Amino acid sequence: LWLQRSRSGRSIYFVGGDREAARLNGLPVNRIVVMAYALSGLCAGLAAIFLTARTGVGDPRIGAALTLQSITPVVVGGTVLAGGRGGVLGTLLGVLLVTMLNNLLNFLNVSSYYQWVIQGLIIIIAVSIHTTKRRQ
């Protein structure tokens, strides 16, 4: 909601979509990029605090296993990895679909190795579909 309704949120989308166009429209591109990185760092810090509280361990490598599980629903939900496009609703739908897929694979007793491979293939397919649509 904040990204779609506030001036700063829309500015982040605008700069993510086309930096040069944002600069030509008078937006302070460098300031917006720094703000986006700071906001991302704040969110990562909060996530680290929550994960540490949940696991009781402060290992910096603990989240490495969650990277693919975090990226897959976002890409399935339609967010462009290059930036500038995407939304919360699509991401939530992607989370729902990927969670259902993971539950189905667990129910079918599929090895976790193959689950990782399937998630990687899903990302490759989603990026390929987006690239094909963008070229047309």
Run means of pLDDT, 10 residues per run, the chain, 136 residues? 77 81 88 92 92 86 81 82 70 90 92 89 85 77
Q: Give percent helix, percent strand, percent coil of the chain, each to the nearest 5.
A: 75, 0, 25
Residue located via tokens 């040069």: 20
**Domain boundaries in the chain?**
1-58, 63-136
Tell me if 101 sits within 8 A of 118, measured CB to CB: yes
pTM: 0.67
For 17-33, the pLDDT digits (tens) are 778 888 888 889 999 89
**Which residue, among 30, 29, 32, has the nearest Cα to 40 in the 3D structure?**
32
Tell me if 11 sits within 8 A of 30, measured CB to CB: no
